[in-house]
Chain A
Amino acid sequence: QQPVQSPQAVILREGEDAVINCSSSKALYSVHWYRQKHGEAPVFLMILLKGGEQKGHDKISASFNEKKQQSSLYLTASQLSYSGTYFCGTADPTNAGNMLTFGGGTRLMVKP
């Protein structure tokens, strides 16, 4: 069963903030975040391992609440280059933790 992402789509103006949520019905080893631009391959953003850590670089950060089996991706002061579809991928004990199950994606459009 794939993780559920919300919202499905969001439109921002440059400089605005956004939060993308990822929720799983299973206990998780890790949550991975990827961004995919139209016609391109998904590109890795970050990994969060169980332990409730929050990671980030530049103006993109993420948190992982293993008890709630949820992760959130935070995009602050959005830039035009942030446009794309964001996917969370989860690794859980039912698949030995060695492969990712991806959510349906959140489409982000940043306008000038």
Chain B
Amino acid sequence: DTGVSQNPRHKITKRGQNVTFRCDPISEHNRLYWYRQTLGQGPEFLTYFQNEAQLEKSRLLSDRFSAERPKGSFSTLEIQRTEQGDSAMYLCASSFGTGTVLTGELFFGEGSRLTVL
């Protein structure tokens, strides 16, 4: 399968614990996005990478959240000191683009569902 892969698919954790999610994008895609989706809502932008550079980060993103994309390949999203409000589906998407405007489709992974008890 050459689609976007996310792991783990499900994570249940206790409040205060740290969690890390991994995203493997489509291999030739240089852009990688993280979104968060709660039930009944649209995906909410978290952060965006072009190759290994993190170019955009949502102002809503707490400093408990950090993302990396070493070497411009896979990416990790870490949430420290989780809170119940962090419970959501975390979606990763990738695309290929060279211009300044997004003109290509985003390919989404199936997401990592986080439940914080």
Contacts and interface: CB of A to CB of B under 8 A. Distances in A.
Nearest to B111: A41
**How many interface residues does chain B have, given as a range?**
20 to 34
A112 to B, nearest CB: 25
Interface in B94-117: 97, 100-111
Interface in A28-86: 29-30, 32, 34, 40-44, 47, 49
Contacts of B105: 32, 44, 47
A19 to B, nearest CB: 19
Contacts of A95: 56
B79 to A, nearest CB: 20
Contact of B110 (A40, A47, A87): A40
A30 B105 CA distance: 11
Given A30-B102, A44-B105, A99 B45 contact: yes
Contacts of B109: 41
Nearest to A29: B101
Given A96-B56, A99-B45, A100-B33, 5 more contacts: A34-B106, A89-B43, A98-B48, A98-B55, A98-B56
